[in-house]
Chains A and B, each alone.
Chain A
Amino acid sequence: MDWFFNFPDMSRSDLREFKKSVDFAFTDFSRTYGQGIEDFFEPLLMFLVWFEKLFINTPWPIIIVSILLLAWIGSRSLLVVAGTFISFMLIGYFGMWEDTMSTLAIILVATFLCIAIGIPLGIAMARSNKVQAAIVPILDVMQTIPSFVYLIPVVMLLGIGKVPGLIAVCIYAIPPIVRLTNLGIRLVDKDVLEAADSFGASYWQKLLGVQIPLALPTIFAGVNQTIMMALAMVVIASMIGVKGLGLPVLQAISNQYLALGLMNGLAIVILAIIFDRVTQKFGLRMQKYRNEGKD
């Protein structure tokens, strides 16, 4: 009856061997291909460094004016612009300007990457049920697997630095945009597509002229979520060498600096709120035609 009370598991030595062989296999893999993969990401690293320098080296008034301008273009709301101004002044005043710029740089690059990969992927999923069936489980894994777990192979392959950090952020942040692009395109009214077909629209005319414009509000909700998740990942990414607001938070945890942790944590929150409000207002403006409908 022993098997009934104790799970018939594999022996300890077997298990150790199993883990060892997996580890060795991956170490071998990263020794063989690590350099190649690193070289592949070299241009990305250069860009990231250049972009971060651009943010840090540009005089702060120019940055603030550009950010306020973007906030205005996105939201068309004086309240949002005023809030953005006050927030950035406070961030600067409390000495977090440089870290904030680093964070802003990596968030923007990560968001851009996620959009560039995520939207085409979402479109491919909307096109074919098979592609959707293949990608959905992968997205599930990406969203639920503890971030520390995929940090391990990323670090083993690429070491510590900006690029592995960026990849970690992207893995965590890309699922919403893929999912919502897929959803948005699938939700486009079949009747309207039929109408486009009946007038002889080509595949690309339908995609660019009807499906994407009608899916845009949903896609944009995905962009918004992607930005939020990228920001949430900043602290964890700092563990593998990403500079920015996450690093002081990490120091604060290990040294129990309450004020430092709070300040930098709040700066992340403020960035998130600004991004959220601006992109949401922008998303709302894109579906103006819906809101102006008669009641």
Chain B
Amino acid sequence: MNSKNILIKVNQLYKIFGDGDKSSLDLVKNGMGKDELLEKSNCVLGLNNINLNINRGKIQVVMGLSGSGKSTLIRHLNRLIEPTSGEILFNDTNILNLTPKELIQFRQNNMSMVFQKFALFPHKTVLQNVGYGLAIQNISKDEWSEKAQRWIKRVGLDGYETYYPGQLSGGMQQRVGLARALATDAEILLMDEAFSALDPLIRSEMQNILLDLQGELHKTIIFITHDLDEALKIGDRIAILRDGSMVQDSDPQEIIMNPADEYVSDFIKDINRARVIQAKSIMTPTNSKSSGATVKEEMVLEDILQIMSDAPSKPVTIENSKGKITGKIEMVNLIEGMKRPKSLGTNITG
């Protein structure tokens, strides 16, 4: 990956909660784990040597169970939490060296955030909520309310400007949260389990809104979730955290095909492989045309199965987005690809 495409670089980031965090830092650097540290020094290990490159204009998902440090990590990016050691580079400026004034500037102009529990201002109307990030920059009311109005419309809340958050449903509240974050035109969007509190249908709808917006805005989005389906749906890259350490950071397909360890395997155990694995992950590379139909590299196995079922013996041809043939898939490959790897267990019950 070209280094010019990297917008945020997290280098050797450590966070230890509790007193004596400096002395505990050496213990952690020498390999002490989370449980042992808690027992020995009564400090909680939040982040353990995190290295992460976040690409401009992409959606970087950070995934992990609760307590794995994902919310801690995202709060380091805008310094809602201060690290114990390490550096965070944004366009080669170390965010951690910003003075309080510069930090406020940085938060106003470069980053905005969407929260799990919405965190809307209950005493402000939808319009005032969406315009908040602009209003505190001493922008005139006409200007911010016009911009806010535009974003309210964009997320489909036209006509709700004068409502208070308490009068809206959860899904609508999070649209306000999203509009509030987008209104400042910040390049980076931090989303902390933004859709986790919504029910499945609304969640899926919000994911589509986000992808739709991303298609035109090309923001750099850091998206926290504990839901693998969500991660696979929207992530350009997925980083997996466990007990404050990074376990794997790769392409979504790579995570499914080559889970780094048991923890990651556990995560992907229950997903519907046919619906997420793409042709390119299981194809046999070749540049000659096969006898069956031609499909795109990104097509998921389920759809290929649909096509192949008409002519099971004919392998399908795989082509990339430019129309160049890159491989082929036979029925055996398809079955092999859909079945769970041996390491994940058979999981046959009943």
Contact = CB atoms under 8 A, between A and B. Distances in A.
Nearest to B78: A198
Contact of B121 (A195, A198, A290): A195
Contact of A214 (B115, B123, B137): B123
A218 to B, nearest CB: 13
B259 to A, nearest CB: 33
A289 B164 contact: yes
A197 interface: yes
Contact of B107 (A198, A209, A210, A294): A198
B46 interface: no
- DSSP class of A's interface residues: helix, strand, loop or mixed? helix
Nearest to A294: B167
Interface in A172-205: 189, 191-192, 194-202, 205
Interface in A256-295: 289-290, 292-294
B104 A202 contact: yes
Contacts of B103: 200
B167 A213 contact: no
A293 B111 CA distance: 30
A292 B166 contact: yes
Interface string B130-167: 00110011000000000000000000000000001011
Q: How large is the interface on A (under 10, 10 to 19, 20 to 34, 35 or more residues)?
A: 20 to 34
Given A199-B133, A205-B136, A290 B166 contact: yes
Interface string B102-113: 011111110111
A209 B136 contact: yes
A293 B136 contact: no
Contacts, number: 75
A209 B190 CA distance: 23
Given A195-B113, A209-B136, A290-B166, A200 B104 contact: yes
B184 interface: yes
Interface in B15-47: none
B219 interface: no
Contact of B119 (A189, A200, A202, A209): A189
B80 interface: yes
Contact of A200 (B136, B168, B180): B136
A198 B80 contact: yes
Contact of B167 (A195, A202, A214, A293): A293
Interface hub of A191, A194, A198, A293 (most chain B Cβ within 10 A)? A198
A191 B115 CA distance: 8
Nearest to B137: A200
B289 interface: no
A200 B108 contact: yes
A242 B44 CA distance: 60
Given A197-B107, A200-B104, A200-B107, A192 B164 contact: no
B164 A210 contact: no
B164 A293 contact: yes
Contact of A289 (B122, B133, B137): B122
B117 interface: yes
A289 B166 contact: yes
Nearest to A202: B104
Contact of A199 (B164, B166, B184): B184
Contacts of B109: 200
Contacts of B169: 294
A140 B80 CA distance: 36
B105 A200 contact: yes
B182 to A, nearest CB: 12
Contacts of A195: 113, 115, 119-121
B148 to A, nearest CB: 13
Contacts of B137: 200
A32 B132 CA distance: 56
Contacts of B107: 197-200
Contacts of A191: 115, 117-119
Contacts of B167: 292-294
Contacts of A205: 136
Given A292-B164, A294-B166, A198 B111 contact: yes
Contacts of A213: 123
Given A201-B136, A289-B123, A194 B164 contact: no
B166 A194 contact: no
A293 B120 CA distance: 14
A189 B111 CA distance: 22
Contacts of B136: 199-202, 205, 209
Contact of B112 (A198, A209, A294): A198
Given A194-B80, A199-B108, 7 more contacts: A191-B117, A198-B111, A200-B106, A205-B136, A292-B164, A292-B166, A294-B169
15 contacts: A195-B115, A196-B132, A198-B78, A199-B133, A200-B103, A200-B105, A200-B108, A200-B109, A210-B121, A214-B122, A214-B123, A289-B166, A290-B122, A292-B167, A294-B166
- Counting from the closest, the 7 A-B pairs by CB-CB distance are A293-B166, A200-B107, A200-B108, A195-B119, A191-B119, A198-B113, A289-B164
